[in-house]
Structure 1
Amino acid sequence: MAPDGSRVASLKVSSAQAASLRASLILRGAGATPGDPSKVTLRFAGNDGRVFEQSGASFAASGNDIGWSPTVSGEDLLVELSLPAGLYPENFSLSIPQLSHLDISPTASPRDMMTIAIGESDSCENDIVCRANPTTGFTSAAKAVARMVFTTSQGSFLCTGTLLNNTNSPKRNLFWTAAHCISTQTVANTLQTYWFYDAASCNGSTVSSQATTLTGGAFLRHANTTRDTALLELKTAPPSGAFYAAWNSAAIGSTGTSIVGIHHPSGDVKKYSLGAVNALNSSIDGKSPLYRVVWSDGVTEGGSSGSGLFTVASDGAYQLRGGLYGGTSYCSAQTSPDYYSRFSDVYPTISTYFGQ
């Protein structure tokens, strides 16, 4: 017991040879005088010394709303519960129904990430920081894009999402991605995002010192599995410096329209791809309607899923028009097509979230 009357309980969960771990936790009041989980502070640490802190309210399960710990490095997950004066361990029960063992750390180097890349080599991908004479619109949009790690019953996965602007006051933390990444509240609860996960220098092997990890999950506001669209609302505010990207609710009107993709292929540091729309109403794998695009510079890979398709407005602003479903592009087949959802198709059903 600390001098202020608070108490600390701790436990360790291990999985041999894990590169990183995360666990689902359920914290409930128990005993003759059940405690309030929101009064508890939980801290999580791995083997690298980094500590993450979350309120016990994040783990007070209700229906499908089961909380997940942050992803920590190493084969040990240390969990510490801090109880204020007047509360005791016997006032609570803590269970850990699931543990996700990752064979590679979500913050692994690009070289290590390539060992689990979905698809071909990423040698033709372009670091965000390598773009010559980037416009303000481009650098701003890049700050809206985050790397995603989330967990399902099949394991933990990577995608990309984009923070979107809105007229609400205070501004809502709306986050666009693909339904094939996240389409249920259960999975949305597990979301962990990585902001400013960029190379420190052009083609460099280290990550920017500005890189920030955000925990706490998200609320699922919309998912359409046929159109492969998903809108989340982050439960925790994005870090300072994150940008709320512009969007355009009109459909792209003509083939040949220039487009830009900003994404995290194979979970790597942020990249960009340049190309054009070559079909406005396509279908693949039962998903439709979709934009079909071809690249002239860069491609997409696994981990790019959900990333934004941008067009450039007359004022230079980058406007989101859809999100990546998938495709067949890779570095030696750059003009094989990729397919993106159409923001315009679902905007009428989600417009109220944007304050419209």
Structure 2
Amino acid sequence: MIRHLTALLLAALAGTVLAAGEAPLVVHGEVVVGEKARPVAQLRLGDAATVPVAILAPLQDSEIEPLRKANRKSSAKRLMIGVNRTVESMVGPKAARSAWQPVDGGHAARFSVSSPDAAAVRLAIDLTGTPTDVEMVFLGSAGTELFGPVRVGSIVDRTGPWWSPPTEGATQTVEVFVPAGIDPASVSMRFTRVSHLFTSAGSGFRKRAVDIGDAGSCNKDIACAINPSAAFLTARNATAQMVFNVGAGVGLCTGTLMNDTDTSTQTPWFYSANHCFENEDPPYRTPTQMQVIANTLTTYWFFEAASCGSLATPPIVTRTGGATLVFNSQPRDVLFLRLNDTPPAGATLIGFDANPFVVNETGTDFHHPQGDLKKFSQGSVVGFSTPFTGAVANGYTEIRWTTGTTEGGSSGSGLLAFSGSEYLLRGGLWGGSALCTNPNGTDNFSRFDLVYPQLAPYLGYVPFANFTDLWWGGESQSGWGLNLTQHASNIIFGVWYTYDAAGKRQWIVMPGGQWTSSSTFTGALYITSGPPYNAPFNTANFHITPVGTGTLTFSNANTGTFAFTVNGVSGTKSIVRQPY
């Protein structure tokens, strides 16, 4: 019965905003400190020949048209920048045994796959059966940067083909190293697909072999901001460009690196838009399918103009480790990830504010329209919106720009509010009608205040102990108590066994809440009623009534206080664990 009531409570309360009396959390940002030393990619074969295992036919217009159509179709502002092509022969190193050469510590060989006229390429590699100690280094035909070494055993998900980092030019070369003691003939990796990208980081995402759009002239470079504050310059370093494989192509969006309340760590939480990884129409992807896309994520940092009007950029930093899906919501258009690789030193873990915007409040957005150098937009909130069929009613913040706009590629970028000392995240871009050619159009952003209860277990405070137990007021107060269950997410489900004003026994339930410090948990209180135990359970007779709020404050792992307000009556009780 308790389990059934729990399920009904959670279903009935899913999506509720913070209850009255719960102060929405405001968390400050911080800058990523120096990262750990990274292994240096190097080629073990000097001038050894590369074995071309696949050269694809030139791309046909019929392969490009679906990409053009996708970029024209929706008000959502994901940009498609490439197509996936099949390597028909499913070839790989095992088919070219003569390529292996002895090197220090083992054997190595180079293999290449080409897609003519591509600005960049990446490969889908089937690693089934490949020994975990095998390493790979990647090089493009039009670039000098090496990516790797990537140890097969370090790849989190090898259940499907793994996508290599994008490299510049129409050909990607893979140097494979097999340590001594492993027979190169046992390396069974195969190249199954190639992503043909029409643009690349090396070209500043401006070079295109097909017209997929260019950023409008009304967009404003970060470097063109007039007298930008230190807070403005710090906040823009939380923004990264995203490139990922989705469906039959390669997508581009924008995302924001987020901070949490744990000052002892710098976990790389990453906030963007669900539609970046999602199907445009039902059926929508399962979490498992979304994770496959997250595995392919590459992020680009500090991709912005070095000075106003310049196409030169500071050194761009690329991270290729993919990400772990933590939470996503199609009706709220929220994508919440944990990056698998450490962001570069100097990036910003931006803070957040779980309060809603108010009309006429100013919002700021840092983003990559059409994959261009980082831009900024500013405008005023005009209200709350429901921008697409199936969206949460009034679940989006609608804004009209006075400076700049957004375009394809801007999707997922963070809507920020200035708090007086820093910029704080309040949502992520879905899309809208705003364009350089439509300055009176508006854009719609997911509402962080509505989704924060789902993200609080990751971003909120971490309790200093596990408080799962039966609690009471001690032997002198036998007859009432609290049953607290602290889940893996650290959310507490509490049941208060007590009595009403007439002395009749009563259960008051706290089905969730938030940690406002490492020792304090606050949640809404409810009373439930339903069918009797000796009758069939009928959900139509189950009712939930909000009655107030409760706050648990723990002084140590075994003692604390329980403060409550129930139907306007407030009080505080000392509590201890009930011994057995």
Say whether the fold is shared (TM-score over 0.5): yes
The CA deviation at 1:108 is 2.1
**How many angstroms apart in 2 are the aligned matches of 1:336 and 1:171?**
38
Q: For residue 62 of structure 1, report the CA deviation from its aligned partner.
A: 4.1
Equivalent residue for 2:312, pick from 189, 206, 216? 206
Percent of aligned pairs with the same amino acid? 37
Partner of residue 15, structure 1: 115
Contact 1:27 1:59 in 2 (8 A): no
Aligned pairs (5 A) from 1:159-308: 159-168=253-262, 169-183=264-278, 184-208=290-314, 210-252=315-357, 254-288=358-392, 289-308=395-414
Q: Does structure 2 retain, via aligned residues, the 8 Å contact 1:26–1:61?
A: no
5+ residue gaps, structure 1, are none
Aligned-residue offset at 1:13: 0.8
**SS of the residue 2:307 aligns to:** coil
2:236 alignment partner, one of 127, 142, 161: 142
In structure 2, give the amino acid aligned to 1:337. Answer: T
Does the 8 A contact of 1:329 with 1:337 survive in 2? yes
Distance of aligned partners of 1:106 and 1:151 in 2 relative to their CA distance in 1, 3 Å threshold: farther
Cα shift at 1:284: 2.6
CA distance in 2, matches of 1:107, 1:232: 26
* One-letter code aligned to 2:260: N
Match of 2:163 in 1: 68
Pairing partner for 2:430 from 322, 325, 329: 325
- Over alpha carbons, which structure has the higher Rg? 2
**Residues 211-268 of structure 1 deviation map (CA, whole Å, 9 limit, x = unaligned):** 111111111111101110001111110111111001112222x210101011000000
Counterpart in 1 of 2:126?
26
| Closer, same or farther: CA 58–16 of 1 in aligned 2, 3 Å | farther
Q: Give the conservation status (yes or no) of the 8 Å contact 2:140–2:171.
A: yes
Match of 1:343 in 2: 448
- Note the residue ranges of structure 2 that are not aligned, 5 or more in a row: 1-100, 279-289, 462-580
Mapped to 2, the partners of 1:162 and 1:131 lie a distance apart of 20
Counterpart code for 2:459: F
CA offset digits 1:280-333 (Å, max 9, x no partner): 24333433311111000100000000000000103x210010000011111132
One-letter amino acid of the structure 2 residue matched with residue 258 of structure 1: T
Question: For residue 250 of structure 2, what is the aligned residue in structure 1?
Answer: 156
Of 123-132 and 85-94, deviating more is 85-94
SS at match of 2:309: coil
Kindly provide the amino acid, as one letter, of the partner of residue 318 in structure 1: Y
Aligned-partner residue type, residue 300 of structure 1: T
Q: Deviations over 1:101-149 (max 9, x none)?
A: 112224324653697455x751011111111111121111100100111
Greater relative contact order (CA < 8 Å, ≥ 6 in sequence):
1
Residues 278 and 294 of structure 1 are in contact (CA less than 8 Å); yes or no, is this contact kept in structure 2? yes
Q: Do structure 1's residue 41 and structure 2's residue 145 form an aligned pair?
A: no
What amino acid is aligned across from residue 187 of structure 2 in structure 1? F
Q: 2:218 aligns to what?
A: 124
Alpha-carbon distance between aligned partners in 2 of 1:340 and 1:104, rounded to the nearest angstrom: 27
Going from structure 1 to structure 2, the CA distance change for 1:279 and 1:334 (only over 3 Å counts) comes to same
In 2: Cα distance, 1:6 partner to 1:338 partner: 56
User: How many residues are paired up?
Assistant: 345
Q: Following the alignment from structure 1 to structure 2, what is the Cα–Cα distance between the partners of residues 110 and 234?
A: 22
CA deviation profile, 1:140-182 (whole Å, cap 9, x unmatched): 1100100111111221111000000113443211111000112
**Alignment partners' CA distance in 2, 1:280 and 1:152:** 30
Q: Which amino acid aligns with 2:231?
A: G
How many angstroms does 1:98 deviate by?
Answer: 2.1
The change in CA–CA distance for 1:57 and 1:230 in structure 2 (over 3 A counts) is same
Cα drift, residue 57 of structure 1: 2.7
Output the CA distance in 2 between the equivalents of 1:305 and 1:225. 14
Aligned-pair distance for 1:29?
A: 2.9
Once residues 326 and 156 of structure 2 are traced to their aligned partners in structure 1, the CA distance between those partners, rounded to angstroms, is: 20
Confirm or deny: 8 A CA contact 1:117 1:302 kept in the other structure.
Answer: no
**Paired residue secondary structure (1:287):** coil
Contact (CA 8 Å) 2:246, 2:277: kept in 1 or not? Answer: no
The normalised TM-score by structure 1 is: 0.91
Deviations 1:171-208 (A, max 9, x none): 21111100011250011111111100011110112222
In 2, Cα distance between equivalents of 1:264 and 1:355: 29
d(CA) in 2 for partners of 1:301 and 1:61? 33
CA separation in 1, counterparts of 2:382 and 2:302?
A: 31
Q: Deviations over 1:48-77 (max 9, x none)?
A: 12210022135575445x421111111111
- Amino acid aligned to 1:228: D
TM-score by length of 2: 0.57
Amino acid at match of 1:250: N
Structure 1 residues 187 and 111, CA, compared in 2 at 3 Å: closer, same or farther? closer
- Could you tell me how far apart the structure 1 residues matched to 2:156 and 2:190 are? 11
